[in-house]
Amino acid sequence: MPPLSLMALVVLAANALMFLVAWERMSLSSCVLVATEQWAAATRQAALICLGATRVGMACLAGAFLWAHARTSSWAFTDRHLVGRPAGAGAGPHAPGGARGEGRDVAVSSVAAHRVRKCP
């Protein structure tokens, strides 16, 4: 599969597992593209650095998704939202209450999302 279509798969992934599979395939294909001129020593070194960087990035992403899965019990991106704010609620100056914050709910605790109070 061409690298450009793999980049599209990363953006269009609906859950963490599909994202990780697409990310892995995209990163490995980019390392192959870097290593196309393998007869030059600098190119081989760059390909190895690319491969190492993609391994570190994959480990960080996997750790972050495992942490998010432990908190939400779901791999879907649609199940993750800001704690204490209803889905689709804006926080900008055009949100209800304007820039002063009137009418917006703010979570008292990031652990207990049901405890919400009004901002003064």
pLDDT of residue 102: 47
HSE at residue 10, side-chain half, CA atoms within 13 A, is 15
113: nearest Cα among 90, 79, 70, 81: 81
pLDDT of residue 62: 95
pLDDT of residue 1: 67
Q: What is the distance, to the nearest Å, from the Cα of residue 20 to the centroid of all Cα atoms in its chain?
A: 10
| Residue 105 host element (H or E) | strand 105-107
pLDDT of residue 83: 58
**pTM, full prediction:** 0.61
Quickly list H helices, the chain: 3-12, 16-34, 41-72
Backbone phi and psi for residue 3, each to the nearest 5 degrees, phi listed first? -60, -35
Residue 6: CB atoms within 10 A of its CB come to: 19
pLDDT of residue 90: 52
Q: Where are the domains of the chain?
A: 3-79, 81-120
Mean pLDDT of 26-44: 89
| Residue 118 host element (H or E) | strand 116-118
pLDDT per residue over 19-31, tens digit each? 999 999 999 999 9
